[in-house]
């Protein structure tokens, strides 16, 4: 799993305008914090309303495998939701009967809760992609990592109407032992990828499709993006990739938890 650069730049501007006070407000409205400090090894919180989903601790190792078995594929969609592109991605997934894992950020979830609810209602799974998509968070303090993950958790739960993220994906693959352990303690399995389509670079739909066709033998988890720029190429590539995968005998599942 190589580090990717999806989402750099555009999040910096968005977070600079919206992050500080808003995150705390969301956290306060959903959770009542216990005595543990934000950067503690086992942060505790009590929900004001019991969220749907299992928060039982899971394995802290980074997962790539599919619950659909040896010919399973996990479609993962990062950085959204986005009002221009997420609905188009959802339409294509619905058309082909495919369920995916959406790695959403706290900022985007807070801005577009209707889309988060739509993702959940369609039977897809949620993944915590931190508040601000800081691809250098592995170089930051444990307190900073904790805040990014836990604030995003609260924001996503609120946006979804009470549904927990089942996975945690570090922005750009910037995992640390601490962030993996923290996420797993909250019931979120750290999630990697095997096929980086590099769609965030907008290489053209043909190139995105060719990457999947060439690299799917590397493993089942495929990385796409539905935010952070013009995703028309991603939409077109998905429209072509999903039936191709079916023709090759692949089925679609979720990452193993």
| Token output for 47 | 């929900």
Catalytic residue among 4, 124, 133, 225: 225
Please identify which of the residues 78, 134, 138, 151 carries the catalytic annotation: 78
Q: Is 78 one of the catalytic residues?
A: yes
What is the full DSSP assignment across the chain? -----TTTTHHHHHHHHHHHHHHHHHHHHHEEE-SS-TTSSS--EEESSPPBS--S----SPB--BTT-TTEEEEEEES---TTTHHHHHHHHHHTT---EEEE-HHHHHH-HHHHHHHHHTT-EEEE--SS--TTGGGS-HHHHHHHHHHHHHHHHHHHTSBPPSEE--GGG---HHHHHHHHHTT-EEB--SEE--GGG---HHHHHHHHHHHGGG-SEEEEESSSS--HHHHHHHHHHHHHHHHTT-EE--B--
64 is catalytic: no
What residues are annotated to the active site?
Answer: 78, 225
């Amino acid at each position: 799993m190589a580090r990717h650069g999806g989402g750099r730049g555009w999040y910096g501007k968005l977070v600079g305008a919206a992050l500080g006070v808003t995150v705390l407000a969301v956290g306060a409205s959903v959770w009542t914090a216990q005595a543990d400090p934000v950067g503690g090894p086992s942060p505790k919180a009590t929900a004001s309303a019991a969220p749907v989903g299992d928060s039982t601790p899971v394995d802290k190792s980074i997962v790539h495998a599919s619950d659909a078995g040896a010919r399973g594929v996990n479609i993962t969609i990062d950085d959204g939701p986005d009002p221009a592109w997420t609905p188009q991605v959802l339409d294509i997934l619905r058309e082909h009967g495919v369920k995916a894992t959406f790695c959403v950020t706290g900022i985007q979830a807070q801005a577009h809760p209707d889309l988060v609810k739509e993702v959940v209602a369609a039977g897809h799974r949620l993944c915590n992609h931190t508040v601000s998509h800081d691809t250098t968070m592995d170089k930051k303090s444990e307190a900073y990592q904790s805040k990014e993950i836990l604030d995003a958790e609260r924001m996503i739960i609120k946006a979804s109407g009470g549904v927990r993220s089942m996975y945690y994906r570090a922005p750009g693959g910037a995992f640390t032992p601490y962030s993996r352990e923290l996420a797993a303690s909250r019931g979120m399995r750290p999630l990697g990828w095997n096929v980086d389509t590099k769609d965030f670079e907008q290489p053209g739909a043909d190139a995105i499709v060719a990457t999947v066709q060439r690299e799917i033998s590397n493993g089942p988890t495929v990385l796409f993006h539905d935010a952070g720029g013009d995703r028309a190429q991603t939409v077109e590539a998905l429209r072509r990739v999903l039936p191709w995968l079916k023709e090759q005998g692949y089925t679609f599942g979720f990452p193993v938890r």
